[in-house]
């Protein structure tokens, strides 16, 4: 897209001078969000467990992006991530809690280990990292936390007992934190994607019939792309959404409208 501008003027970037942390930033939604934040002027730290993927993503995004290897369900790794961000950029304004896991199963078929793994990453990790950055956002005069939930934060689905429960808990945490920290000018919102073409989805190896079935659940007629979620994340990270907090944002091709 070509954008016209007057000679001698500069395009205003929505996040110029801001510092962001994006978890699960090595691929998929996390990488797309990090790239979009950087294009809007933010300095971005991406975190994840796969060092090679992280470093490749940071290289693609460019000099405004730094990779820090770590597991967000580990309190020591979270402390190291926050310290590395502060050493490099001094402040923290934006946190995108994107890292997550989807382990299929019903209440009967899931093991205790699978249940615990799901909640440790999808809920406990979000709480731990949010808790760690809140004082620094307060010191910076405010900030924005964007949690990546799911349409299953809002509705149920077969064979997704742990995942749906964890994403519903994430939305509850989002709303509680929004109320707790509104006076600190820290906004907390939750994006609820439908089915997005990512490595997580690809691992399910859906056959043609299964893909058609799931596609029919999205009235717009296609699955999401990571960039679809990134646009919503930029909005919620920026001052353009300064009166939005505690909200659930379905970005789902109409999934939850059916």
Q: Measured at the alpha carbon of residue 32, what is the angle toward residues 165 and 76, in degrees to the nearest 5? A: 60
Answer for the pair 172, 149: CB distance below 8 angstroms, yes or no: no
Q: Name the residue with tokens 């405004």.
A: 64
Neighbours of 160 (CB within 10 A): 18
Q: Is 163 part of the annotated catalytic residue set?
A: yes
Selecting among 89, 163, 223, 249, the annotated active-site residue is 163
The number of C-alpha atoms within 13 Å of 156 and in the hemisphere containing its C-beta is 6
In our burial notation (b when 16+ CB lie closer than 10 A, e otherwise), range 30-61 reads bbbbbbbbbbbbbbbbbbbbeeebbeebbeeb
Q: From its phi and psi, is residue 19 left (phi > 0), alpha (psi between -120 and 50) or beta?
A: beta
Q: In whole angstroms, give the CA distance from residue 46 to residue 83.
A: 13
Q: For the purposes of burial, counting CB atoms within 10 Å of the CB of 206, is it exposed (0-12), middle (13-18) or buried (19 or more)?
A: middle
- H-helix or E-strand spanning residue 86: helix 75-89
Residues carrying an active site annotation: 163
């Amino acid at each position: 897209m070509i954008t016209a501008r007057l000679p001698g003027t500069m395009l205003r970037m929505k996040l110029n001078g801001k510092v962001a942390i994006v978890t699960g930033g090595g691929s998929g939604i996390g990488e797309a969000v990090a790239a979009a934040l950087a294009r809007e002027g933010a300095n971005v730290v991406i975190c994840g467990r796969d060092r090679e993927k992280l470093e490749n993503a940071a290289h693609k995004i460019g000099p405004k992006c730094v990779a820090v290897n770590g597991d967000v369900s580990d309190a020591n790794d979270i402390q190291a991530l926050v310290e590395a961000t502060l050493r490099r950029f001094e402040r923290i304004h934006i946190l995108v809690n994107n890292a997550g896991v989807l382990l299929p199963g019903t209440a009967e078929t899931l093991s205790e280990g699978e249940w615990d793994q799901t909640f440790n990453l999808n809920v406990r990790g979000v709480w731990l990292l949010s808790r760690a950055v809140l004082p620094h956002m307060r010191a910076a005069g405010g900030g924005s936390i964007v949690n990546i939930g799911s349409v299953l934060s809002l509705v149920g689905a077969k064979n997704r007992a742990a995942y749906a429960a964890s994403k519903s808990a994430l939305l509850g945490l989002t709303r509680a934190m929004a109320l707790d920290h509104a006076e600190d000018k820290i906004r907390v919102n939750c994006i609820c994607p439908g089915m997005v073409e990512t490595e997580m989805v690809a691992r399910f190896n859906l056959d043609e019939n299964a893909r058609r079935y799931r596609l029919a659940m999205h009235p717009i007629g296609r699955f999401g792309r990571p960039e679809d979620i990134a646009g919503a994340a930029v909005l919620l990270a920026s001052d353009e959404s300064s009166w939005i907090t505690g909200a659930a944002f379905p970005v789902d091709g109409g999934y939850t409208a059916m």
